């Protein structure tokens, strides 16, 4: 039987799962679910080992739909025939790509009929989620888009009080997420993108700006100068990225954005890049 099917079926049934019960091939999957707040680890009374259990059913159901569009009861995933096994193998190699339409967000302020449940979910669980394909929800007011998981989970209504909400882009933003941001921007929403201060951070911002134009800006601080980069930066990351980044896209981006240009100049002058978590104290209230 498909190991992933078995894992999701147990979680969906409320079964507590020990780490030893998770196949090595699925360690990255369960770790991603932990990071996204889909599952959590608990230690049942009388048990010395931690167990995995679903902590946010709304997020779990979105992930479940992404992994198994036909549902867990589909014979496609229960059939152990050679044909179905071969099909699953093709899927795992990318022949059949499932587009992740989920969007993790935090809604701090109620603004319209679609926000109350999301505000409540954010307060109760620390985050919320929507399925971009089916949800009518769009961002209103001023929002921050965040590149990294750690920063997104650290963000809350107290330390991000100037924003109405936050979304997680997980690095290079997908076309579906950018399209949702553009729809929100067309309705008047303004975005600030908080990224790693490196070449890829500027490049990813440029990808969003191509669709949102002046409805999005790249976050920067006047306190982050060349000396700051040299003191807190990562030289190895700079050397690696300078040969891998799309410099043509970066050049186009920095022409039209003051913050992007200043970040680029500081990176190139200093020879260092800065990881996002090192500037939390400057970004958060």
Return the structure tokens found at 17: 């799962």
Write the DSSP symbol of residue 98. P
Is it the case that residue 98 has pLDDT exceeding 60? Answer: no
Decide which of 87 and 69 is more confident. 69
Could you tell me which residues come within 8 angstroms of residue 240 by beta carbon, excluding any fewer than 6 positions away?
Answer: none
Is it the case that residue 77 has pLDDT exceeding 50? Answer: no
Count CB neighbours of 104 within 10 A. 24
| Confidence band, pLDDT 50/70/90 cuts, at residue 40 | confident
When pLDDT is averaged across residues 34-46 and rounded to a whole number, the result is 80
Could you tell me which residues come within 8 angstroms of residue 79 by beta carbon, excluding any fewer than 6 positions away?
Answer: none
pLDDT tens digits for range 101-122? 778 899 999 987 678 889 988 8
Main-chain dihedrals φ then ψ at residue 128, nearest 5 degrees: -140, 180
Indicate the domain borders of the chain: 3-92, 102-283
Contact 198, 247 (CB under 8 A): no
Contact 284, 156 (CB under 8 A): no
When pLDDT is averaged across residues 262-272 and rounded to a whole number, the result is 98
pLDDT at 56: 76
When pLDDT is averaged across residues 186-197 and rounded to a whole number, the result is 97
Decide which of 104 and 237 is more confident. 237
Is it the case that residue 86 has pLDDT exceeding 50? Answer: no
pLDDT at 126: 81
pLDDT at 270: 98
Cα 52 to Cα 18: distance, rounded to the nearest angstrom: 6
Least confident of 45-49, 139-143, 199-203, 215-219: 45-49
pLDDT tens digits for range 158-179? 999 999 999 988 777 888 999 9
How confident is the prediction for the chain on average, in pLDDT?
85
| Confidence band, pLDDT 50/70/90 cuts, at residue 148 | confident
Cα 207 to Cα 173: distance, rounded to the nearest angstrom: 8
pLDDT at 149: 79
Q: What share of the chain is helix, strand, coil (3-state, %, to 5)?
A: 50, 15, 35
Annotate 44-66 with b (16+ C-beta within 10 A) or e (fewer).
eeeeeeebbbbbbebbbbbbbbe
pLDDT at 241: 94
Return the structure tokens found at 273: 């890049």
Cα 67 to Cα 63: distance, rounded to the nearest angstrom: 6
Tell me the CA distances in angstroms from 224 to 155, 193, 204, one per residue in order. Answer: 21, 16, 20
- Collapsed DSSP state (helix, strand, coil) of residue 15: coil
* Strand 165-168 relative to strand 142-146, pairing: parallel
When pLDDT is averaged across residues 230-253 and rounded to a whole number, the result is 93
pLDDT at 1: 61
Radius of gyration of the chain (CA): 21
Decide which of 248 and 263 is more confident. 263
Decide which of 53 and 142 is more confident. 142
Share of the chain above pLDDT 70, in %: 88
pLDDT at 153: 84
CATH architecture of 102-283: 3-Layer(aba) Sandwich (3.40)
pLDDT tens digits for range 47-66? 778 888 887 777 787 788 77
Largest separation between any pair of C-alpha atoms in the chain = 62
Tell me the CA distances in angstroms from 284 to 79, 128, 157, 276, one per residue in order. Answer: 50, 20, 10, 12
Domain 3-92 has CATH 2.40.10: no
Least confident of 79-88, 176-185, 274-283: 79-88
């Amino acid at each position: 039987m498909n190991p992933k099917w078995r894992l999701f079926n147990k979680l969906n049934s409320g079964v507590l799962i020990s780490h030893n019960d998770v196949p090595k091939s699925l360690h990255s999957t369960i770790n991603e679910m932990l990071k996204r707040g889909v599952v959590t680890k608990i230690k049942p009374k009388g048990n010395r080992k931690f167990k995995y259990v679903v902590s946010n059913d709304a997020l779990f159901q979105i992930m479940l739909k992404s992994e198994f569009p036909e549902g867990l009861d589909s014979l496609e995933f229960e059939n152990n025939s050679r044909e179905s096994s071969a099909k699953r193998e093709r899927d795992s190699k990318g022949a059949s790509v499932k587009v992740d339409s989920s969007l993790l967000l935090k809604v701090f302020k109620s603004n319209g009929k679609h926000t109350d449940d999301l505000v409540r979910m954010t307060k109760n669980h620390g985050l919320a989620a929507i399925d971009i394909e089916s949800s009518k929800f769009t961002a209103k007011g001023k929002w921050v888009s965040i590149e990294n998981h750690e920063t997104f989970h650290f963000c809350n209504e107290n330390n991000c009080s100037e924003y109405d909400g936050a979304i997680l882009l997980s690095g290079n933003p997908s076309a579906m997420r950018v399209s949702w941001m553009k729809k929100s921007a067309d309705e008047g929403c303004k975005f600030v993108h908080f990224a790693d201060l490196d070449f890829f951070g500027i490049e990813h911002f440029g990808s969003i700006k191509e669709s949102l134009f002046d409805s999005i800006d790249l976050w920067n601080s006047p306190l982050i100068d060349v000396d700051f980069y040299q003191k807190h930066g990562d030289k190895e990351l700079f050397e690696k990225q300078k040969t891998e980044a799309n410099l043509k896209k970066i050049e186009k981006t920095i022409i039209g954005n003051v913050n992007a240009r200043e970040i680029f100049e500081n990176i190139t002058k200093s020879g260092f890049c800065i990881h996002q978590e090192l500037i939390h104290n400057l970004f958060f209230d």
